[in-house]
A and B are shown apart, each in its own frame.
Chain A
Amino acid sequence: MTESSSEVRPAKCSHCERPMSTPIVCDFCQALNAVPATTDYFALLDVPRRFDLDQQLLHRKFLALSQHAHPDFHTGDSPEVQQLSLRVCAALNDAYRTLKDPARRAAYLLEVLGGKSSVEDKAVPEGFLGTMMMMQEEIADAKEAGQQHELDRLREVLQTQHDGLIHRIAGLFGEHQEAIACNAVRKDFLGEIRRQVNAVSYVRKLLSLLGQLPARTVGLDAGGHGSAETGRDAEAR
């Protein structure tokens, strides 16, 4: 199983010119470096590029890199370094927010693997739309009748569906990785994952209508409303 399949062209530290094993902080002189344009979020946080990402590892890496990049620790530096730290830290925060949340991570990983965006491919699994439309009607009816009990039940159902979709996505990514290793990727594999990811978006929208967001891993950095707002936010950039 590959740990990280990103093309490694070791960048050189802009300070001491030595090759760097990770994008932002030089192993030798500890200087802060700009994020190369080709770096994806996994490489940026120095974690393996896979869906089943160890969340504890992700958190540790994020904190360690933040200790280097955060503007608070560069107050005495030149304006250029201060600007750099702002940009690098913003990129780190973006990366962490994306990789921490399963749906965002899935959408981002799809993009990195070359799959279509939600704008290009809006398909959902067969039968899914029908189920969703039915749920939407039930929600509307329950809201109008003021049936809190029913709303709670619907919330439970949606939450279970959400978790089920994430579980299926995790399985698919795992299969995908094995298939790549055996050179046996079936056609439209990524499209299949995309359909599941689109479905999650939909379920989240409904959950937000009920005033509840999907449970987060360890509850850190909740910027979760994004996925309910526009398609753009459900996608990582």
Chain B
Amino acid sequence: MSESVILGIDLGTTNSLAAWMTPVGPNVVRDEAGSALVPSVVAFSADGQVTIGQEARAHAVQNPLATVYSVKRLMGRGIDDLAADLDFLPYPIVSGPHETVRVMVHGQAKSPQELSAVILREVRRRAEAALARPITRAVITVPAYFDDSQRQATRDAGRIAGLEVLRIVNEPTAAALAYGLDRREDATVAVYDFGGGTFDISILRVSGGVFQVLSTDGDTHLGGDDLDRELIDLITSEIRAEFGRSLTFPPATRQALRNFAEATKIRLSTDGQADVEVALGADRVYRRTIAREEFEARAGRWIDKTLDLCRRALADASIEPGQIDQAVLVGGSTRIPLVRRKVGELFGREPYTAIDPDEVVAMGAAVQAGILAGVQRDTLLLDVTALSLGIETLGGAMGKLIMRNSTIPCQASETFTTYVDGQTAVDIHVLQGERELVGDCRSLGKFQLKGIPPMPAGAPRIAVTFLIDANGILNVSARELRSGREASVQITPAHGLTKDEVDAMVADSYTHAVEDLTAHRTIDLRNEATRVLNAVDKALADAGHALSDEQRKLLDASVTMLRAAMKGDDPDQINAAMVVANDAAMPLTEAQMDEVLSKTVKGKKLDEI
């Protein structure tokens, strides 16, 4: 058990925030202004400046091509997965190796992991400032329905941000931890987590400090962003109808429309209607008052999707909606009145809204961090894997080895053999999903088992163990039983970064971190040097006449050198010049002291001193 704090981080689609565990409960990190949320937005200027959070979001319209938001939607995904999103996202997205994507920022290709790392680094920085100590370890949350590639991408992002990610924890589970922390009555809880980009539903049994997930379901491509799009669709189709069918919307306009839509959606949660006004240039203005009912008519089908998933999760847990004791709402999108109404109808009770839907996940991550630190000893968390895991079998079928909603950690074994004499490697294609055919499931990549001792075809007995750990991430190990030899497992990921790629990104970020540190130090030293020079100037005015010619020449030379060093970027040079200047100024400061002393003493009688 170490003294260092483990940070709990909610890396959200729209907003990110952090919390840490104290003896009286989780505490959310806030800045001087008291705000906890860091918008998950990263903006790049042409000269390499990076802005994160509120400031980046504020200038999104001016900089639509290089302001990256909703990066979470890109994590662990390939370009094909994002086909529907490409129309809406104004920043350029291209294909990357191993079926990943890259965002093109001023000609540079950045991976979603690196972009998420920028956000994480900022979250970390704020936490270190708030806690006045360095932070190197964290728990990061992900949607429960995130697959293996998406989880690995999140963990990689943490690494690139210089964090040791001790646990990847599911968002609804984290919310349940925060909700149930001080409650001791047994309860069956449904956590309805509707965020900016993802939806999760988890059914848990909470009993005396034991949090047991019974089932979980979700959609990693369903969130508040989709409701924004409904409004964008409404506005753009009406604009086209009014001002011209072929009107195109450049990136800056698309970004502005997105801002309008989001603001309108939020406004309609409190007001019955909202006014929209869009200036289209050339004196064309689109004006519209959107009523809440109109929005609800369009939003309804998305919310109904979430309810279907809720019913599926209930069925998997063999629980009737009426058996749910508490429906806990998580995520900003649960502020929408229609969502609250429909969730209330499904479970037959008012949903629980007393916990801040924006902060509850980070608080839960802090509780998990507390468990890992050994300070939360009476809490046991039993989570499940959301997706079935299997391998490709003959004919393109998916053979399931681990069923969805299995408590993790869990494992399964399968025995393989070779087809050719002397074959020393065997390939396995690992997948996640519920469908029967490989093409309809999610590929985790190609796993090559190497180092099999050469034997006749069919002779080797390679026992492969698939273990899903507490992060919900797959670990594969293999042993040839006849020889007892451990086989090495080489993974070519699908939708992920290789270890080399991550290492390179970590090194790259470290270089930048060092550069940042150097720049910081340079600024500090320049400030100190300015103070030194000001002091020397004043001292010269008071006692410059007391210096010999030689001493004066030395001092002038050192001052010139210091001023020159201050113009440059080398902190060591500034420091060295400052040392020399301080030495050269010593006779001056002594003379100054004598002057001051003689001035105060002059004209005073001995007994007054």
A212 at the interface (CB under 8 A from B): yes
Q: Report Cα–Cα, A215/B317, bound state, in Å.
A: 9
Query: Which residues of the partner chain B approach A213 to less than 8 Å between Cβ atoms?
Result: 315-316, 318
Q: Interface segment, B231-239, B291-299, B401-409, B522-530?
A: B401-409
Residues of B within 8 A of A237 (CB): 413
Q: Which of B196-210 contact A (CB under 8 A)?
A: 205, 210
Q: Kindly state whether residue A16 has any CB partner on chain B within 8 Å.
A: no
B166: interface (CB < 8 Å): yes
Q: Is A211 in the interface zone, CB < 8 Å from B?
A: yes
Per a CB cutoff under 8 Å, which of B1, B319, B371, B407 touches A219?
B319
Number of A-B contacts (CB under 8 A): 105
* Interface membership of A136, Cβ < 8 A: no
- Residues of B near A94 (CB, < 8 A) are 410-411
A209 within 8 A of B: no
Q: Does A86 contact B (CB under 8 A)?
A: yes
Contact with A along B558-580 (1 / 0, CB 8 A): 00000000000000000000000
CB-CB contacts below 8 Å: B463-489 with A: 467, 469-470, 475
Query: Which stretch of B23-31, B281-289, B374-382 is in the interface?
Result: B374-382
With A63-B380, A66-B382 as known contacts, state yes or no: A222 contacts B214, CB within 8 Å. Answer: yes
How many B residues touch the partner, as a band? 35 or more
The answer on a CB contact under 8 Å between A224 and B407 is no
> Does A96 touch B at the CB level, under 8 Å?
yes
Size class of A's contact patch? 35 or more
Q: Is B205 in contact with A75, judged by CB distance below 8 angstroms?
A: no
Q: Is A223 an interface residue (CB 8 A)?
A: yes
Chain A, Cβ-Cβ closest to B188: A219
Report yes or no: B374 in contact with A76, Cβ–Cβ below 8 A: yes
Pick from A76, A90, A97, A219: contact of B214, CB under 8 Å? A219
Are A212 and B315 in contact, with the CB atoms below 8 A? yes
Q: Does B113 lie at the interface of the complex (its beta carbon under 8 Å from any beta carbon of A)?
A: no
Given contacts A66-B382, A97-B407, contact A220 B212 (CB under 8 A): yes
Among B167, B205, B377, B380, contact of A220 (Cβ-Cβ < 8 Å): B205
Query: How far in angstroms is the closest Cβ of chain B from A92?
Result: 9
- Is B372 part of the binding interface, using a Cβ–Cβ cutoff of 8 Å? yes
Q: A93, B407: Cβ atoms under 8 Å?
A: yes
Shortest Cβ gap from A189 to chain B (Å):
30
Query: Shortest distance in angstroms between A54's beta carbon and chain B's nearest beta carbon?
Result: 18
B215 close to chain A: CB less than 8 A: yes
Say whether B2 faces chain A, with CB atoms less than 8 Å apart: yes
| Complex contacts, B380 vs chain A, CB 8 Å | 63, 66-67, 70, 72
A residues adjacent to B (C-beta < 8 A): 63, 66-67, 70-73, 75-76, 86-87, 89-91, 93-94, 96-97, 211-213, 215-216, 219-226, 229-230, 233, 237
Q: Can you report 29 A-B residue pairs in the complex whose CB atoms are below 8 A from each other?
A: A63-B210, A63-B380, A70-B470, A72-B470, A75-B374, A76-B374, A86-B409, A89-B409, A89-B470, A90-B409, A93-B409, A93-B410, A94-B411, A96-B407, A97-B407, A213-B315, A213-B318, A216-B318, A219-B188, A219-B214, A220-B205, A221-B212, A221-B384, A222-B316, A223-B403, A225-B403, A225-B405, A226-B403, A237-B413
